[in-house]
Structure 1
């Protein structure tokens, strides 16, 4: 199934965050690439991965409860989002220094 999902997305847009909570998620996690993320549940799928973590190419982030899962998932989404937007940020944000003397900075007061 994961191969079909990977094939349906263009190569440049492919990044996966795979959440796994059981042993049935081990084989699909082996199909992830270096730029992907694997989030195994600790004391479940985590134990299988820890036996030989070198088999996984993806970055591994374990979680133990819903709160931790949420924190890690949001962090990874933000990380991917920032990495994808970084070329745009650097090309559109160009800072220039403008020299302005003190009397030019403020508009002239109008007489009343």
Structure 2
């Protein structure tokens, strides 16, 4: 299944106008979904991996804000920063999707940002 289709499935399953995506990826298969993200979304490509290289060829094709990361510590810092930013902007609904297992879980509470430690 194309991961871009997973994004569409998620969009269709939520009626909220203010939905935003934070998409993490490192493989070339993550490039197509990054092109489907909107200006209010975030793309987190792993630096020096295939999706990073594809995005760097023409970053203007990706409408979402691009936030690269290199290792687990940087991924955590960037992701927590973006989650905090989104949760401050609006009352957020967080959704996680496992594309490899083709599962989708929806969390309609705000426990995620409160449960994670936020670093300034």
What TM-score, normalized to structure 1? Answer: 0.72
**Structure 2 segments unaligned to the other structure (5+ residues):** 1-5, 92-120
| Residues 1:8 and 2:34 are matched in the alignment | no
User: Using the alignment, how far apart are the partners of 1:49 and 1:80 within structure 2?
Assistant: 23
Match of 2:83 among 67, 70, 77: 77
| Structure with greater strand percent | 2
- TM-score, normalised to structure 2, is 0.68
2:54 aligned residue: 48
Structure 2 Cα separation of the partners of residues 13 and 54 of structure 1: 23
C-alpha displacement at 1:54, in angstroms? 0.6
More helix by share: 1
Hey, what does 1:37 align to over in structure 2? 42
Q: Aligned residues, how many?
A: 85
1:17 is matched with 22
Distance of 2:52 and 2:15 partners within structure 1? 30
RMSD between superposed Cα atoms in Å:
1.1
| Structure possessing the higher radius of gyration over alpha carbons | 1
Moved over 2 A (4+): none
Partner residue of 1:26? 31
